[in-house]
Structure 1
């Protein structure tokens, strides 16, 4: 049950959303047991983002959440961030130094009116 929420200060045209959801679908496999088959991607664009007190340059916050009953290995998170960051930078023209990626896992996840 992975979710990747992308919030940017720039517009995300439809073709860019498709390109990013495809890249995210490939990247999520870095997390053991996760695949595009259950991936939900949420995109919010043109949101004011101040980074280091400055909103004059494009910025992005990517939030990754996964359902996991055990600890996700640190190297899996690293591989995921290493795949997501350049995709966002290339597709949206955002400097990687202005992209934050937040990664978290939870043993509590709901779907279809129930929890796992």
Structure 2
């Protein structure tokens, strides 16, 4: 039950959103037991983001929420994959991207909790 939320100050076209969806769907498999089959995604573009007091270049804030947990080595690989995807698809420098992970033991779906 992973969820990935991506916020950026850049515009994301529908075509680019579809590419990001596909690549993030593949990247989530880096986390053991996670797959695109249960992945929920959201994209917010043209958000007023500032990093180091500036907003004159591409910036992204990505949140990954998980049912369960993973180790830091897995998160290192996931962060590398996300920054590679955003650099390739939106030309955002890895130094302009924050990635936040949140683990939970409680996750609701289909009217009940898992």
Scaled by the length of structure 1, what TM-score is found? 0.94
* Number of residue equivalences: 114
Shift of the alpha carbon at 1:14?
0.7
Q: Partner of 2:87 in structure 1?
A: 89
Matches within 5 A, 1:24-63: 24-63=24-63
What is the Cα-based RMSD across aligned positions, in Å? 0.9
Indicate the SS of the match to 1:22: helix
Q: Distance in 2 between matches of 1:52 and 1:77?
A: 24
Shift of the alpha carbon at 1:30?
1.1
Spell out, residue by residue over 1:29-69, the C-alpha distance to the aligned partner (whole angstroms, 9 max, x if none).
1111000100011000000101011111110001001101x
Q: Distance in 1 between matches of 2:33 and 2:80?
A: 18
The runs of at least 4 consecutive aligned structure 1 residues that moved more than 3 Å come to: none
